[in-house]
Amino acid sequence: MSFSTDDFAKALEQHDYQFQRGQVVRGKVASYSSDGIYVDVGGKAAAFLPIDEVSLQRVSDVEKVLPIGDDREFLIIREQDADGQVTLSLRQLEIKQAWQRLGELQEANQTVQARISGVNKGGVTADVQGIRGFIPRSHLVDREGLDVLIGKALTVSLIEVDPSRRRLVLSQRLATQAASLGQLEIGQLVEGRVVGIKPFGVFVDFDGTTGLLHINQISKNYVSSLESVFQVGQPIKALIIDIDESKRRVSLSTKVLENFPGEMLEKMTDVMADAADRAEKARKTLSSRGAD
């Protein structure tokens, strides 16, 4: 039996290609027009890729980016029209893939490079792999004179990656802390300042990192009131007793520096003055049986 051109046309009309918006299809660059590119995706009509959907980056020569015969994946952004033609995008596919990569990096607690693009009253905007993100002022290492950051690349951690809301929140401060954690070790004596007092303990900033001095690690004696012992801004020395890099937590102790129970409460000045020598003794205790 012969299969005429008319038969072939009818077969195409009866075939449902199920092209849908949001679908990723594979296609081959077929030809160019003044405002876009025609791509063969196996449908009854060539798909169309508008010029402004070619890439996340500015394209000066489309033929170099997408030469004739180039075979790759595209994202359908508009379903078939009356002629069976769908509209494609590489730019939006790149955006989709970038969000996916950022989500994977967040899960792995990895840092990324962000190029600062603007400043507003809440912080700075930044570009990360083609995605626009935001760094709150509180998550910058230097929170003043933000205009000088424009154009600079900062290493940041990913706080929130939400492609459905197009929300990307970043932190330079957490990235700096993460880098600092890799240089810390259990048994290390650190010197910093009290930056917060909570019912469960005291937060201490040292070398760009924040550690927690839990109320149970302040003294071998019971501490009834943290406010009566510490104040914000107070200098303090403490020993690192635990590091949790996945949660970016550093646990501190001063009770391991005591020569007798309650010394931190009665003679804190003496404990701080002799902290280096006391730390050496405490490290030997920690290595043998750990902190209480």
Q: List pLDDT tens digits, range 177-201.
A: 777 777 888 999 999 999 999 999 9
Q: List pLDDT tens digits, range 110-126.
A: 899 999 999 998 999 99
Q: DSSP of 104-153, one letter per residue?
A: HHHHTT--EEEEEEEEETTEEEEEETTEEEEEEGGGSSS-S-GGGGTT-E
- Write out the H or E segment, with its range, that includes residue 63: helix 62-65
Mean pLDDT over 204-231 rounds to 92
* Calpha distance 263→254 (Å, rounded): 10
Mean pLDDT over 200-221 rounds to 92
pLDDT at 258: 96
Identify the domain boundary among 132, 151, 177: 177
pLDDT at 291: 45
The answer to whether residue 14 is domain-embedded is: no
Find tokens 């596919």 and name the residue.
93
Q: Are 240 and 249 in contact (CB under 8 A)?
A: no
Identify the domain boundary among 135, 161, 177: 177
The answer to whether residue 4 is domain-embedded is: no
Q: List pLDDT tens digits, range 66-76.
A: 999 999 999 99
Question: Do 201 and 232 sit in the same domain of this protein?
Answer: yes
Question: Do 195 and 167 sit in the same domain of this protein?
Answer: no
* Identity of the residue numbered 46: A
Of the CA atoms within 13 Å of residue 10, those in its CB half-sphere come to 5
- The DSSP symbol for 226 reads G
Question: Do 168 and 192 sit in the same domain of this protein?
Answer: no
Which CA distances in Å does 138 have to 173, 198, 292?
Answer: 8, 19, 35
Tokens standing for 172? 């330079």
pLDDT confidence tier of residue 213, bands split at 50, 70 and 90: very high
Q: What is the CATH number of the domain that holds 130?
A: 2.40.50.140
pLDDT at 244: 85
Question: Do 80 and 159 sit in the same domain of this protein?
Answer: no
Q: Which of 17, 10, 13, 22 is nearest to 41 (CA)?
A: 17
The answer to whether residue 255 is domain-embedded is: yes
pLDDT above 80 (res 252): yes
The answer to whether residue 3 is domain-embedded is: no
The answer to whether residue 278 is domain-embedded is: yes
Tokens standing for 56? 């996340």
Find tokens 């002629």 and name the residue.
83
Q: List pLDDT tens digits, range 98-112.
A: 999 999 999 988 899
Q: Can you give the pTM of this predicted structure?
A: 0.61
The answer to whether residue 281 is domain-embedded is: yes
| Range(s) of the domain holding residue 81 | 22-89
Q: How many domains does the chain have?
A: 3
Identify the domain boundary among 177, 201, 236: 177
